[in-house]
Structure 1
Amino acid sequence: MATDSLSDDVIRFLSEGTRTGKLGYVAADGRPLVAPVWFLVEDGRLVFNTGLDTAKGRALQRDPRVVLVVDDEHPPFSFVQVQGTAEISVDDPDLRGTATRIAARYMGAHRADEYGARNGVPGELVVRITPQKVIAAFDVAD
């Protein structure tokens, strides 16, 4: 199934548990790179934090084209691939809030503030991916 937006079943899959996204982006020399990211779905977009001076941060400033894949590696296997454009916010007013919401998902509510404080600081970016093409396959081994 291919669409240009996140359907309800795709959002449900992306939001379930603590699945890590695999972010594909383009290095300065044109090589494709992949890095794991913690993310949320908010307002029809995928949202994550990264440092301004990290490989991801530098690459997204140079070329906003990305792909994010999330999979369930347990039978009957499922995946979602989101191809899109990354919007980078350097001085996002909700930086700490975003970092805290992401931390709550992956580390639990009891550690959300701790990780939000650690990751919601100057030098961190909020990245929002606007989907352009979404490919999903659920229960592929059924």
Structure 2
Amino acid sequence: MTKFPVLHEEQVREFYYNVEFVEDDSLHTWVGNKSLYLDEELLEKILELPDMHCAGVQKKIMKGEYQLLFEFVNKVLLPRTEKHIMASSTDLFVMESLCKFEPLNLLALVLEHMYKTVIEHKGKHRMG
């Protein structure tokens, strides 16, 4: 018999609804009566991943193979709801890491994705 993971949908919703991003690129939120703080260093310890640290390029000036890689990053790894023709620093970092077979800085990717999801698109996700 397959065990399904325990999902805490209300707590996740509350986590994102209350999240505040601090100038030092960390985040602070509340779930229930608990205050939570998260930054790259703490995320590195939790996920046991190394910490690594990149401006933007328009897709149309990329070589064909990089345009294809950008589409993969844009639609699979870091999906967006809007049409995306400009590669962000995150996109470029991921593309370069994939091309060089280097490990990705998942810590920064997670925090940046959370920031963009919550701050830039808060209303679209019914989080505030």
TM-score (norm 2): 0.25
TM-score (norm 1): 0.24
Q: Which has the higher contact order (CA 8 A, sep 6+)?
A: 1
Q: Which has the higher strand share?
A: 1
State the structure with more CA Rg.
2
Q: Which has the higher helix share?
A: 2
